[in-house]
Amino acid sequence: MDIATLAPGRSSQRNQLILLDRAHLVRVTLGSSALAREVLDLFVDQVPVQIEALASALPGRPWFEAAHGLKGSARAIGALALAEVAAEAETVAAEASDGRRRELLATIRAIADETFAVVMADPT
């Protein structure tokens, strides 16, 4: 996925990120298709809640914790593009302007939507 259009200003080495690393998902679910489907369904249910928590979080520690939780959820299933932008949000928790936080949130929402499309199309 080319996230340059979703996240302008990113370094070129990070422009190509994977929406869903299926090999990672197979490893963490021990090859169980049923478990993989359950994990993906939980991800689709919970990530919007985490994004809304981030949207309502105050700068500093609350923003960091919300971004950190989202990053962990994304990494757990192999949603690498979402994890990358959540990690970026985590690093700017204290010093980012309201505009920068809104920009990151919009990027997170766009990447999450693309990730959900891939997850829902996954026959696992």
pLDDT tens-place string over residues 16-69 = 689 999 999 999 999 999 999 999 999 999 999 999 999 999 999 999 999 999
Q: What is the 3-state secondary structure (H, E, C) of 37-96?
A: HHHHHHHHHHHHHHHHHHHHCCCCHHHHHHHHHHHHHHHHHCCHHHHHHHHHHHHCCCCC
| Mean per-residue pLDDT of the chain | 89
Give the model's confidence band at 5: pLDDT under 50 very low, under 70 low, under 90 confident, else very high: low
Q: Which CATH architecture has domain 12-121?
A: Up-down Bundle (1.20)
Q: pTM of the full predicted structure?
A: 0.86
**Closest by Cα among 71, 113, 121 to 93:** 71
Tell whether the torsion through CA atoms of 117, 45, 77 and 38 is positive or negative: negative
Give the model's confidence band at 11: pLDDT under 50 very low, under 70 low, under 90 confident, else very high: very low
Give the model's confidence band at 94: pLDDT under 50 very low, under 70 low, under 90 confident, else very high: confident
Give the model's confidence band at 12: pLDDT under 50 very low, under 70 low, under 90 confident, else very high: very low
Give the model's confidence band at 95: pLDDT under 50 very low, under 70 low, under 90 confident, else very high: confident
Residue 3 has pLDDT above 70, yes or no: no
Give the model's confidence band at 91: pLDDT under 50 very low, under 70 low, under 90 confident, else very high: very high
